[in-house]
Amino acid sequence: MHDVYGTEGSRAVVLVEGVSDQFALEALAERHGRDLHSEGISVVPIGGAQAIGHFLNLFGPRGSDVRLAGLCDAAEEGEFQRGLERAGLGSDLTRVDMEQLGFYVCIADLEDELIRALGTPAVEQVVDAQGDLGSFRTLQKQPAWQGRPHEEQLRRFMGSGGRRKIRYARLLVDALDLATQVPRPLDLVLTSV
């Protein structure tokens, strides 16, 4: 297997766009009492949707041929769809077809899924607990963000400032009620492996 990606001995690989997606899925698995490593499952950030073809070639039927799954943002659905088709995993794939292959699409993106699942008051509590509420309020006062929906402001806040997106992925997953708030794409991608 391709040890450079930490997948040696893996029976399944979950391909995700970035490190924040990886951290969110690993945190969710832990909260469900799963140890992905001992199960032989690797979550691999591919560095953006444009790299999906490369990773499907490495791990798919033409490569090491392990069980595959994936998670992408809505804006990158076409990139994943084309990559799956080029890798020989179907043709004229719809979202339903992609899901049957274990590939799920976040509505907007990971942060949007988590913010909608938790609700803005709960997300603000997480932001406050991290000492970042003042920074978030500053963003809200910026002319470009005044009057925008609260969810959009929170998404922008999560996506700005270095590694904030990565840090908050785990924190927001940790705040979820596992019985009622787990976003569908995150739940299903883990269920598929």
What pLDDT, in 10s, does the model give residues 168-179? 999 999 999 999
Average pLDDT over residues 152-165: 88
Rounded to whole angstroms, the Cα distance separating 112 from 183 reads 10
Rounded to whole angstroms, the Cα distance separating 168 from 68 reads 26
The CATH architecture assigned to 3-108+181-191 reads 3-Layer(aba) Sandwich (3.40)
Rounded to whole angstroms, the Cα distance separating 110 from 27 reads 13
pLDDT digits (tens, 9 = 90+) for 19-65: 999 999 999 999 999 999 999 999 999 999 999 999 999 999 888 89
pLDDT given for residue 132 in this prediction: 95
Per-domain residue ranges of the chain: 3-108+181-191, 111-175
Cβ partners under 8 Å of residue 25, min gap 6: 14, 16, 43, 71, 186, 189, 190
pLDDT given for residue 12 in this prediction: 95
Q: Which amino acid is at 91?
A: S
Task: Count helices and strands (H / E) in the chain.
Answer: 11, 4
Rounded to whole angstroms, the Cα distance separating 25 from 27 reads 5
Report the candidate in 46, 56, 53 with the shortest Cα–Cα distance to residue 21. 46
Rounded to whole angstroms, the Cα distance separating 165 from 36 reads 22
- Neighbouring CB atoms inside 10 A of 74's CB total 14
For the whole model, what pTM was predicted? 0.92
Q: Mean pLDDT score of the chain, rounded to an integer?
A: 93
Rounded to whole angstroms, the Cα distance separating 65 from 49 reads 20
